[in-house]
Structure 1
Amino acid sequence: MEQDVALAVVVLVAGGVAAQWLAFRFALPAIVILFAAGLLVGPGLGLIDPSEAMGHNLHALIGLAVALIVFEGGLALNFKELRAAGQGVVRLTVVALPVNWLLGALAAAYIGGLDWGASILFGAIMVVTGPTVILPLLRQARLERRSASFLKWEAILNDPAGAILAAAVLEFLILFQFGDDEALLEVALRLGVGLAVGVALGVGAAFLVRRLFVADLTPEILKTPMLLALALSVYALANLAISEAGLVAATVFGLTLANIDVPGLSELKRFKEGLVVLIVSTLFIVLVADLDTEVFLALSWPIVLLTLAMLLVVRPLAIALATIGSDLDWRERVLTGAIAPRGIVAAAVAGLAGARLAEVGYDEAALIEPTVFAVIATTVVVHGFALPPLARALGLSKGDDPAVAIIGASDWAVDLSRALGLAKVRVVLIDTFPGAAKRARRAGISAIQTQILSEEAEDRLADSPIDYALVATKDDVYNALVSARLGPDLGRERVFQLPAAGDVDLAHELDRDWRGKLFGRLPFAEYERRFEAGWRFAAEPATRALAPQTDEAGLVFVRGGRILFDSLEAQDGSGLEDGIAVVFLPPEEVRGREVEEEAAGSTSLLRSSVKR
């Protein structure tokens, strides 16, 4: 038995990580691959049966894992973002939730053929979208900030709300079935108490953490374990009041922490993000692998039609009704109405609630689980692939052009930015000196006057996030500090800094955790000296920059949405040879190229990029 459990855990964890890597490698929606992996190792090949391997503890473990997921989701909710999103978030949570419930229940009764008890419970389960599926899709789709905020806030807030709604509906239906005339009042009272307890526990735990962290009463090594322990504790305690109130407590705990200025929280967030990716990957495979073949046998044409109705009628109509008179424009209403993938909470609640409702005499309740999973499977696949192209078609995507931040707006950095722009790279220059930012803007380049390490910079870059960073100031120590700070967020392979001046060898003397990858071979002073002597950056076909007869180095290569910075440290440059290269040319090369182009009567990227 112990070996069966160990094998199941290894298969689930390894399969989840492998699915995430495949999604990254081939630019596919991770949630789709996870769903396919669950079907393969579970009903497909029969490698694992989570319920048999873990017994009755499975659902308790799933609940604890979901608590950590919604806690981490709450940490991503900042009230500044809420203010920027306007009233749309309120409409998508407070207003759209009951409308979704009503329309979902009607569709289940009149299209799916479920009895009214099962229909009401099905409608309650279907109000959730869930951060487990929305957040990975948002990272891939590159939505503009406001639209992403709508979907993110709705998913994170509706997840616990939908779970506790489903639990309350289930309890009411059971009491009603046994002839309890005051069932509604009893459930309403317990629901109110459960919500109050959940909110109180979440807020109280957050302020306890703030007190301990601000007063330095907790050593660094205990901070992350303390947060995880408290998230699980408030979840378990709130569930004593009413089932699923723990999800409210865990979400409120994370939400409060994110908005009360707790020092050192950003470093802890990164650890929990990685942990949650692992949990989500494992859980999704668990829930799909745990499906019994009877679930698939229960699928019928009414269920298929109900699934289509949920996608094409219920969700779009609910959002359209809930957002009447709001500040959402028609494009935002279309996007939010079209995208609503269901995830782990819906799957977990459906398996337990449907079976329990069937036990007390609701004949159609056994169809809840296959119907919910039909909606989950369809929305995961359809919305996973549809979100990026739909966002682009509606003009709500940031586009596929890569974005680079250059920290340090020197004259040569401005010239480099212009050349990158000709290669269709979006560049933003960041400098603390007002004159440098103004000079860059006069050259037609986006520039921000701010300290890159400040919260202000994070807020200003939120509307146009960056994919790569080049830290290019005069101060080598500052360059390393900024690179070390940006590395975990952007990926250490996407953060570069200039080599140090003199005999300092950063590649061997400073660990990669404390610096960026080294860009080019010249320190700041040498770029500055050469620029004053007439050297200029230019964009030209990479085949020419790589030709054996040329002496200049290709500093940056661009092809599609991929960028390769010239570095002494190993990088895979395959596939970029037919792209664009940004090179640093001496004066004689600049003049020679201009003469060639004038003779050919052409206007090339090189000619357009030279600063006269």
Structure 2
Amino acid sequence: MDLTNQIILVGSAVLLVSMLVGVLSNRIGAPLLLVFLLIGMLLGEQGPGGIAFDDVQTAHLFGSLALAIILFDGGLATPIKHFRVGLRPALSLATLGVAITATITGLFAAWWLGLNWLEGLLLGAIVGSTDAAAVFSLLRARGLELKQRVGATLEIESGSNDPMAVFLTIALIELIIGGGDQGFGLVMLTEFARQMGLGALIGLAGGFALTALINRLAMAAGLHPLAVMAGGLTLFGLTAVLGGSGFLAIYLAGLVIGNRPLESTQNIKRFHDGIARLSQIGMFLMLGLLVTPSHLLPVAGDALLFAAVLILLARPLAVWLCLLPFRFTWREQAFIGWVGLRGAVPIILALFPLLAGIEHAAMYFNIVFFVVLVSLLVQGWTVAGLARALRLEVPPTSHVVQRVELDIPGQQELELVGYRLAADAPVLLERRAPHLPAGVRPVAVVRERQLIDAGDLGDLNAGDYLYLMAETRALPGLDHLFVAPPVPERLTERAFFGDFVLDGEAQLGAVSTVYGMAIDPADRDLTLDALIRRSLNQHPVVGDRLELGRMALVVREVEGDRVTKVGLKLGSDD
């Protein structure tokens, strides 16, 4: 009994300390996952903790479970609207990009480490996938918001490239165990069709079925998140048992569930966000425990060189080739190429050769662990600064203070939104009744603990709590009215978008007459929307720029593929 109590005490204390250290790491800009890895190493057998843990099978079990939960949460949190600008490039990176990265690094490893080509490709496949979740945690900690094209591409890639890396790793292990006699092309093709086909089929079908089941069953609100998680893990296990990619299945299931009308949507997403964070902490602590620090030193030189090839050659080249058809700017390509952080997935995949009893498996694990450390240190610490240097930030769009989901049948997108008005809130500075976006109705104002009638919102004071019923799409517009975003001067609306706001349907000829803009006479009848879309030749997003001499047109608002508002910025800063 004493041992049980001690384990509970130590385990909970380690978890609490990890969370507190995580908060501190956000303030100093340290990559959060690196902190948890280091804590795990300190708790290990060669650290002050002295905990001996070398159970690869247990580590694989809990690591796979944690990764499945993290991918499920990633699917739940990915808005389907991001697919408009990020799906095709992200899928290219998640499939062809992983294969190119694995091939380049694998062939280098075979040459440098003296391995045969299959063993080298296995090492390349293990480090093939990225962990953009680490990127977004760093960006959120620094208060940065990326252009939608870049952010959506990274977000979708991070959720969909893990299955490709798993597929390559398993297929190459099968080839190595079989002596490479089965035929490389045939094994890769059949394994790809089986894993990805079953993963996509079960994930999509299971996501729709699980959504319908949750909406039909009468259960306590607190059980909805648990039922969704249990259903997602069931799909993961079923797909894996049938020989498919469970990771792809659970990500796609989360994607379907997160973008369908669902009972207790906000509760479900908040619960899974917390569980995913807990899974990340536990997984990295466990992986830190598993490694023996003294075993990293003998492979340090080789691992550093391998990491350099991966970070400086393989990933940038793969990104350039995969994004070539999509006309990303050089700034966007450079950022995506650099933000190829390696996280938990490569370490978990490095356990597969150990479980399969493959020669050099211990060396694989130590090299991969070292590469992840280097990636988190070098790339993780520079990602925020690089986003600013490449000018890929956009003004923040959401600063909602409170959001309460209203479970009204057929109205799952309706929410109760609350704001506490600061003295510098735009609505107070304008000193007039605000013009609310469509789909918004004021509900109440709380002033000095007294509930008062919202009226026409013409008599609001600093310190008031304002509550409105709103459609989700109206939230960014409400933020502009009721929140003074704490952003640097360069990201204020005037500095970023320019002094003038133009309608997307305005004709270029009329604009050039008013503002003295030099244009091609053949373009006079074009609307600003048509001109910008023609120049981009891709889906426009907020922050896209078109230089016209000493002036710039900056996309300010987008609806679907149509540019509705354009900022006119005098003087180019490119």
**Normalized against structure 1, the TM-score is what?**
0.64
Q: How far off is 1:210 after superposition?
A: 2.0
Q: Could you list the per-position Cα deviations for residues 458-492 of structure 1 after superposition, in whole angstroms to 9, with x for gaps in the alignment?
A: xxxxxxxxxxxxxxx5x42xx5xxxxxxxxxxxxx
Q: How far off is 1:70 after superposition?
A: 0.8
Q: How far off is 1:189 after superposition?
A: 3.1
Q: Which residue of structure 2 aligns with residue 264 of structure 1?
A: 264
Q: Could you list the per-position Cα deviations for residues 189-238 of structure 1 after superposition, in whole angstroms to 9, with x for gaps in the alignment?
A: 34433333323332232222222233344442321111111122122222
Question: Is the contact between residue 46 and residue 292 of structure 2 (CA under 8 Å) also seen in structure 1?
Answer: no
Q: Could you list the per-position Cα deviations for residues 509-563 of structure 1 after superposition, in whole angstroms to 9, with x for gaps in the alignment?
A: xxxxxxxxx9746799xxxxxxxxxxxxxxxxxxxxxxxxxxxxxx99998879x
User: In the aligned structure 2, how far is the partner of 1:313 from the partner of 1:335?
Assistant: 14
Q: How far off is 1:341 after superposition?
A: 0.8
User: In the aligned structure 1, how far is the partner of 2:291 from the partner of 2:425?
Assistant: 55
Match for 2:293: what amino acid? T
- Alignment partner of 2:373 out of 342, 366, 377: 377
- Alignment partner of 1:368 out of 364, 367, 371: 364
> 5 Å matches for 1:445-456?
449-451=437-439
User: In the aligned structure 2, how far is the partner of 1:74 from the partner of 1:55?
Assistant: 28
User: In the aligned structure 1, how far is the partner of 2:258 from the partner of 2:130?
Assistant: 22
Work out the number of aligned pairs and report it: 448
Percentage identity across aligned positions? 23
* 2:282 equivalent to 1:282: yes
Match for 1:47: what amino acid? G
Match for 1:159: what amino acid? D
- Specify the structure having the higher radius of gyration (Cα): 1
Query: CA distance change for structure 1 residues 284 and 333 in 2, over 3 Å: closer, same or farther?
Result: same
Query: CA distance change for structure 1 residues 399 and 92 in 2, over 3 Å: closer, same or farther?
Result: same
Question: Is the contact between residue 82 and residue 89 of structure 1 (CA under 8 Å) also seen in structure 2?
Answer: no
Q: Which residue of structure 1 aligns with residue 158 of structure 2?
A: 155
Equivalent position SS for 1:298: helix
> 5 Å matches for 1:7-406?
9-10=11-12, 12-42=14-44, 45-47=47-49, 49=51, 51-52=53-54, 56-85=57-86, 87-140=88-141, 141-176=144-179, 180-181=181-182, 185=186, 188-242=189-243, 245-353=245-353, 355-356=354-355, 359-360=357-358, 362=359, 364-398=360-394
User: In the aligned structure 2, how far is the partner of 1:414 from the partner of 1:84?
Assistant: 37
Equivalent position SS for 2:53: helix
Query: CA distance change for structure 1 residues 557 and 197 in 2, over 3 Å: closer, same or farther?
Result: closer
Greater mean alpha carbon deviation, residues 332-341 or residues 56-65: 56-65
Greater mean alpha carbon deviation, residues 64-73 or residues 115-124: 115-124
Q: How far off is 1:186 after superposition?
A: 5.0
User: In the aligned structure 2, how far is the partner of 1:182 from the partner of 1:110?
Assistant: 22
- Give the unaligned 5+ runs of structure 2: 403-415, 454-459, 467-481, 490-574
**Normalized against structure 2, the TM-score is what?**
0.68
Question: Is the contact between residue 190 and residue 241 of structure 1 (CA under 8 Å) also seen in structure 2?
Answer: no
Query: CA distance change for structure 1 residues 520 and 64 in 2, over 3 Å: closer, same or farther?
Result: same
User: In the aligned structure 2, how far is the partner of 1:413 from the partner of 1:283?
Assistant: 40
Match for 2:157: what amino acid? E
Match for 2:134: what amino acid? V
Q: Could you list the per-position Cα deviations for residues 329-357 of structure 1 after superposition, in whole angstroms to 9, with x for gaps in the alignment?
A: 1111000011111111111111332x256
> 5 Å matches for 1:573-592?
none
Q: How far off is 1:60 after superposition?
A: 1.1
Q: Could you list the per-position Cα deviations for residues 123-163 of structure 1 after superposition, in whole angstroms to 9, with x for gaps in the alignment?
A: 11122112542342342343232211111111111022212
Query: CA distance change for structure 1 residues 4 and 262 in 2, over 3 Å: closer, same or farther?
Result: same
Q: Which residue of structure 2 aligns with residue 425 of structure 1?
A: none
Match for 1:317: what amino acid? L
User: In the aligned structure 1, how far is the partner of 2:239 from the partner of 2:437?
Assistant: 46
Q: Which residue of structure 1 aligns with residue 567 of structure 2?
A: none
Question: Is the contact between residue 163 and residue 349 of structure 1 (CA under 8 Å) also seen in structure 2?
Answer: yes
User: In the aligned structure 1, how far is the partner of 2:245 from the partner of 2:303?
Assistant: 30
Question: Is the contact between residue 396 and residue 485 of structure 2 (CA under 8 Å) also seen in structure 1?
Answer: no
Match for 2:131: what amino acid? G
Match for 1:13: what amino acid? L
Equivalent position SS for 2:130: coil
Greater mean alpha carbon deviation, residues 314-323 or residues 20-29: 20-29
> 5 Å matches for 1:456-535?
475-476=443-444, 479=445, 498-499=447-448, 520=462
Match for 2:338: what amino acid? A
User: In the aligned structure 2, how far is the partner of 1:560 from the partner of 1:188?
Assistant: 50
Provide the aligned C-alpha RMSD in A.
Answer: 3.9
Q: How far off is 1:2 after superposition?
A: 5.2
Match for 1:92: what amino acid? L
Q: Could you list the per-position Cα deviations for residues 56-93 of structure 1 after superposition, in whole angstroms to 9, with x for gaps in the alignment?
A: 43321221121111111111223211103364223322
User: In the aligned structure 1, how far is the partner of 2:59 from the partner of 2:81?
Assistant: 38
User: In the aligned structure 2, how far is the partner of 1:165 from the partner of 1:189?
Assistant: 12
Match for 2:163: what amino acid? P
Match for 2:377: what amino acid? V
Query: CA distance change for structure 1 residues 161 and 5 in 2, over 3 Å: closer, same or farther?
Result: farther
- Alignment partner of 1:417 out of 418, 426, 429: 426
Match for 2:291: what amino acid? L
User: In the aligned structure 1, how far is the partner of 2:484 from the partner of 2:437?
Assistant: 27
